[in-house]
Amino acid sequence: MIIRNIKDEEVLDTTYLAHGGAIAQMILDRRTLKELGFLAIATLSSGRRIEAHVDPMEEIYFIMKGEGEMSVDGETNRVAMGDAIWIPSGSSHGLFNTGKDDCVILVIASAAW
């Protein structure tokens, strides 16, 4: 069993700027996982944007706090706390924080079957 906390040093050491807008950390990644790509947490400040980008893996964005506009392959929808957004492998996607507060998301990624 492996347990990670977002305050663990090995998680904090992975802090990076994700696609021009969010501050992100890898909670679990290829250093540990066998089948999944990663589990990350990201905080997107009010008015900030995760720029549209394409990843070679299937992803799920889970909105833990806040709200925004999520775009996947040109389709844009409002999202809020509790929403899970499926992003197919190879799809262009981005998120804009339209709220007054931080938008906190979990990102789960896996290679497409």
- Judged against a pLDDT cut of 90, whether residue 111 lies above it is answered with no
Residue 62 lies in a domain: yes
Task: Tell whether the torsion through CA atoms of 19, 100, 106 and 9 is positive or negative.
Answer: positive
Q: Which domain holds residue 95?
A: 9-81+91-110
Task: Tell whether the torsion through CA atoms of 62, 3, 14 and 88 is positive or negative.
Answer: negative
What confidence tier does 78 reach under pLDDT thresholds 50, 70, 90? Answer: very high
What b/e string do you get for 11-42 counting C-beta neighbours within 10 Å, with b at 16 or more?
beeeeeebbebbebbbbbbeeeeeeebbbbbb
Hey, is 3 helix, strand or coil?
A: coil
pLDDT of the residue at 31: 87
Number of domains making up the chain: 1
What confidence tier does 60 reach under pLDDT thresholds 50, 70, 90? Answer: very high
Given a contact cutoff of 8 angstroms between Cβ atoms, the answer to whether 99 and 66 are in contact is yes
Contacts of 67 (CB under 8 A, 6+ apart): 78, 79, 80, 81, 97, 98, 99, 103
Could you tell me what percent of the chain has a pLDDT over 70? Answer: 98
| CATH number of the domain bearing residue 25 | 2.60.120.10
pLDDT of the residue at 88: 95
- Judged against a pLDDT cut of 70, whether residue 24 lies above it is answered with yes
Residue 30 lies in a domain: yes
- Judged against a pLDDT cut of 90, whether residue 35 lies above it is answered with no
